[in-house]
Amino acid sequence: NAGVTQTPKFQVLKTGQSMTLQCAQDMNHEYMSWYRQDPGMGLRLIHYSVGAGITDQGEVPNGYNVSRSTTEDFPLRLLSAAPSQTSVYFCASSRQETTSTDTQYFGPGTRLTVL
Amino acid sequence: AQSVAQPEDQVNVAEGNPLTVKCTYSVSGNPYLFWYVQYPNRGLQFLLKYITGDNLVKGSYGFEAEFNKSQTSFHLKKPSALVSDSALYFCAVRVYSSASKIIFGSGTRLSIRP
């Protein structure tokens, strides 16, 4: 199994540009989530999904959209990038949302810079 | 508000000494608590979790954590630190809203000196 994969690893955008961060998992996990990591602020939850077709907002959803058309994929879209979105983005998945006692598996991260 | 806090930004310990990384939480219902570790330029890796049962939970790399309900704490411990334990450590907790989700503390940087 590849686990959780994220592409790209690095990205530089100009203010106002749009892009999609890709996340895929091959473990048949129902629960997937996106976090951003900023110095001194830990990981903050952006959006999460408890299964295909179901998404919900986390702590910091503004400026980001998500969709979950398949169990495997959970892309994160920035419609109009802003410098405040400069961060490292992590995707994670776990087996069951209903209990959420299972371990979350993290991707390697995408380092995004918005100029 | 449901939350998790790590009061120390950095913890410095000499190799061979015991280490403690602190975590406190505030949740409704029974807490599900986790510790994760992040090495430089890597994603987070699971260390251990508390769901129910014994208050002392043992995890990977010789780490353990003690759940204390009265103090709402879940401190991470190791009897003898290694230089290779130097990393960023995150405490996390499951919280309840329209659906359950995991939220993380701000992280504690652990530095082990030889």
Whether A106 and chain B come into contact, CB under 8 Å, resolves to yes
Q: Amino acid identity, residue A102? A: D
**C-beta of residue B46 within 8 angstroms of C-beta of residue B63:** no
Rounded average pLDDT over B92-98: 74
Dist CA A84 CA A101 (whole Å): 33
DSSP tag of B112: E
Structure tokens at A114: 């918005």
**Domain of residue B26, residue span:** 3-113
- Report the chain B residue with the minimal C-alpha distance to residue A48: B101
**Other beta carbons within 10 Å of A14:** 9
Give the confidence band of A22 by pLDDT, cuts at 50, 70, 90.
very high
Q: Three-state SS string across chain A, please?
A: CCCEEEECCEEEECCCCCEEEEEEECCCCCEEEEEEEECCCEEEEEEEEEECCEEEECCCCCCEEECCCCCCECCEEECCCCHHHCEEEEEEEECCCCCCCCCCEECCCEEEEEC
Q: Over chain B, what is the mean pLDDT?
A: 90
A·B CB contacts under 8 A:
64
**CATH number of the domain that B71 lies in?**
2.60.40.10
Q: What burial class does residue A19 get, using C-beta atoms within 10 Å of its C-beta: 0-12 exposed, 13-18 middle, 19+ buried?
A: middle
Region of poorest pLDDT, from A18-27, B42-51, B91-100: B91-100
Whether the predicted pLDDT of A102 surpasses 90: no
Whether the predicted pLDDT of A37 surpasses 70: yes
Tell me what pLDDT residue B52 has.
80
- Range 44-73 of B in CB contact (< 8 A) with A: 44-46, 49, 51
Torsion of CA A94, B29, A45, A40, to 10 degrees: -120
Give B20-41 pLDDT, tens digit per residue. 999 999 988 778 899 999 998 7
Q: How many independent structural domains does chain B possess?
A: 1
Rounded average pLDDT over B51-75: 92
